């Protein structure tokens, strides 16, 4: 089958496979900035509407009182080849949107959790989530101006993540820095897979 512009190098072929990596962390830690630093497109924004039911039903009209919440997600794209497209999704900053996290985590290769040393607890929810879901992740410590200098190991100790989980200092605005984090993540995912395949079967 023919597609009008299938000869454009950037257009994925019919055999294309899409993969995703999540960029998570608390409110305002630099998720969108990090997505934008490596994306080949300006980060796109998509919205999902959550209708919260269960509030009072109006007896006269029978109409349920519903509140609609809109969750915005931004994402970027890296075309690896005509066969492989990688999407980077920034997770919603507020952890009350768990329903969105579920769909996001489904089938994700792995995640980058951004930690801001000025308010480390803001990334705890993301770390807990990925640990529970066994989604491989690395921690990027975003060095905002004016934040005290920390060593990656100090942050690791404060976050209490597994020894095995890479923790790296980063700057979400810099392409090179994000590239390095993504490289670290991919290497980590591959190491986790090798480890898992060597582990003895059983509970």
Partner 1 sequence: MSGGDYAWFDEDAGPLARPYTLTRGRTRAARHELDMITLVVALRLHHAGELDHAHERILGRCQNPISVAEVAAGADLPLGVVKVLISDLIDRHYMIFRSGWAPTTAASPDTLQKVLDGIRKL
Ligand X SMILES: Nc1nc2c(ncn2[C@@H]2O[C@H](COP(=O)(O)OP(=O)(O)OP(=O)(O)O)[C@@H](O)[C@H]2O)c(=O)[nH]1
Angle (nearest 5°) at CA 133 between 39 and 176: 25
Six-digit token string for 3: 């597609």
Q: Please, what is the minimum distance in Å from the beta carbon of residue 203 to partner 1?
A: 18
| Binding piece for Mg ion, criterion CB under 5 A, among 28-36, 119-127, 129-137, 143-151 | 28-36
Specify which residues 51 forms β-bridges with. 68
10 Å CB burial of residue 30 (0-12, 13-18, 19+) is buried
| Binding piece for ligand X, criterion CB under 6 A, among 77-85, 105-113, 126-134, 142-150 | 142-150
Q: Does 77 bind ligand X (CB under 6 A)?
A: no
User: Residue 16 or 120: which CB sits closer to partner 1?
Assistant: 16
Q: Which H/E stretch holds residue 161?
A: none
Phi, psi of 93 (to 5 degrees): -65, -25
Q: At which residue do the structure tokens 């999704």 appear?
A: 89
Residue 157 binding result from ligand X, Mg ion, partner 1, none, given CB thresholds of 5 to 8 Å by partner type: none
Specify which residues 172 forms β-bridges with. none
Which residues of this chain interact with partner 1, rule CB under 8 A? Answer: 1, 3-6, 8, 11-20, 38, 44-49, 51, 53, 66, 70, 73, 75, 77-78, 80-81, 83-87, 89, 99, 103-104, 106-107, 109, 175, 179, 182-183, 186-187, 189-190, 193
User: Residue 12 or 30: which CB sits closer to ligand X?
Assistant: 30
Residue 57 binding result from ligand X, partner 1, Mg ion, none, given CB thresholds of 5 to 8 Å by partner type: none
Q: Does 144 bind ligand X (CB under 6 A)?
A: yes
User: Residue 85 or 143: which CB sits closer to partner 1?
Assistant: 85
Residues in CB range of 150: below 8 A, 6 or more apart = 117, 141, 169
Specify which residues 17 forms β-bridges with. 84
């Amino acid at each position: 089958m023919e597609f009008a512009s299938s000869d454009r190098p950037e257009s994925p072929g019919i055999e294309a496979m899409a993969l995703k990596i999540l960029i998570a962390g608390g409110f305002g830690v630099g998720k969108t900035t990090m997505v934008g630093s490596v994306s080949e497109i300006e980060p796109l924004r998509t919205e999902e509407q959550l209708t919260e039911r269960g509030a009072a039903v109006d007896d006269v009209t029978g109409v349920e009182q519903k509140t609609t919440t809109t969750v915005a997600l931004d994402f970027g794209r890296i075309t690896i080849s005509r066969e492989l497209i990688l999407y980077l999704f920034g997770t919603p900053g507020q952890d009350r949107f768990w329903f969105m996290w579920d769909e996001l985590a489904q089938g994700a290769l792995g995640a980058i959790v951004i930690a801001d040393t000025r308010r480390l607890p803001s990334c705890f929810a993301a770390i807990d989530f990925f640990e529970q879901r066994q989604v491989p992740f690395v921690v990027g410590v975003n060095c905002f101006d004016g934040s005290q200098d920390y060593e990656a190991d100090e942050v690791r100790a404060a976050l209490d993540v597994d020894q095995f989980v890479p923790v790296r200092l980063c700057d979400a605005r810099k392409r090179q820095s994000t590239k390095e984090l993504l490289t670290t993540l991919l290497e980590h995912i591959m190491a986790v897979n090798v480890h898992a395949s060597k582990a003895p079967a059983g509970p």
